[in-house]
Amino acid sequence: MKIRAIKFLKKHIILTTFIALLIVSCSDKKKSYKTQNKEQNKWINFEWSGYSIGDRYFDKAYIIIPFSIEGIPHKFQSQFDLGANETMVYGNAIRPYLNKYQNVAKKLDTINVLNKKVRGFKNINFKLDTVLFKNQHLVHFDRYGTVLTKDSVETKTIKHIGTIGANLFQNKYLIIDFPNHRIAIKDSLNTKDIEKTSFVDVKLDKGRIKVPVTINGNVKYFMFDTGASLFPLIVTKEDIKLLSNINVANDTITTSTWGEYYDVHGYKITSEIFIGDSKIETQNLNVYDSKKEFKQFFEKENVLGIMGNAFFFNKKIIIDYKNNRFGIVN
Q: Tens digits of per-residue pLDDT, 140-196?
A: 999 999 999 999 999 999 999 999 999 999 999 999 999 999 999 999 999 988 899
Is the predicted pLDDT of residue 18 greater than 50, yes or no? Answer: no
pLDDT reading at 5 higher than 50: no
Compute the average pLDDT of residues 14-36. 45
β-pair partners for 256: 261
Q: Is the pLDDT of residue 31 over 90?
A: no
On the question of pLDDT at 6 being above 50, the answer is: no
The architecture CATH gives domain 189-329: Beta Barrel (2.40)
Mean pLDDT of 29-50: 70
Q: Residues with Cβ < 8 Å from 106, sequence gap 6 or more?
A: none
How far apart are alpha carbons 326 and 272 in whole angstroms? 19
What 3-state DSSP class applies to 91? Answer: helix
CB of 200 closer than 8 Å to CB of 318: no
Q: Are 61 and 50 in contact (CB under 8 A)?
A: yes
* Of 33 and 49, more confident: 49
Q: Could you give the 3-state DSSP secondary structure of residue 34? A: helix
Q: Where in the chain is the domain with CATH 2.40.70.10?
A: 189-329
pLDDT of residue 226: 97
Compute φ and ψ for 4, nearest 5 degrees: -60, -40
How many whole angstroms separate alpha carbon 211 and alpha carbon 219? 10
pTM of the model: 0.86
Q: How far apart are the first and last CA of the chain?
A: 78
* pLDDT tens, position by position, 219-234: 999 999 999 888 999 9
CB of 24 within 8 A of CB of 13? no
Average of per-residue pLDDT values in the chain: 88
Backbone dihedral angles phi then psi of residue 93, each to the nearest 5 degrees: -80, -35
DSSP code at position 312? G
Burial of 163 (0-12, 13-18, 19+ CB in 10 A): buried
Which pLDDT score, from 0 to 100, does residue 26 have? 47
> Which residues have C-beta within 8 Å of that of residue 72, sequence separation ≥ 6?
97, 101, 104
So what's the pLDDT on residue 292? 85
Measured CA to CA, the distance from residue 2 to residue 14 in angstroms comes to: 18
* Contact in structure between 308 and 233 (CB atoms under 8 Å): yes
Find out whether 113 and 120 touch, Cβ atoms under 8 Å. Answer: yes
Q: pLDDT category, 52, cuts 50, 70, 90?
A: confident
Give me the pLDDT at residue 114, please. 83
User: Please, how many CA atoms are within 13 Å of residue 81, restricted to the half-sphere of its CB?
Assistant: 20
Q: Write out pLDDT tens, residues 61-86.
A: 999 999 999 999 999 999 999 999 99
Label the pairing between strands 88-90 and 131-141: parallel
Q: Vertex 161, ends 160 and 163: CA angle to 5°?
A: 100
Q: In the structure, what pLDDT confidence band is assigned to residue 41 with cuts at 50, 70 and 90?
A: low
Which listed CATH number (2.170.270, 3.40.50, 2.40.70, 2.30.230) goes with 44-169?
2.40.70
Give yes or no for residue 1 having a pLDDT over 50: no
The pLDDT value given to residue 53: 75
Query: Per residue in 288-300, pLDDT tens?
Result: 999 888 999 999 9
Q: How confident is the model at residue 15 (pLDDT cuts 50, 70, 90)?
A: very low
**253-278 tens-digit pLDDT:** 888 777 788 889 999 999 999 999 99
Cβ atoms 111, 118 nearer than 8 A:
yes
pLDDT tops 70 at residue 25: no
What's residue 230's pLDDT? 83
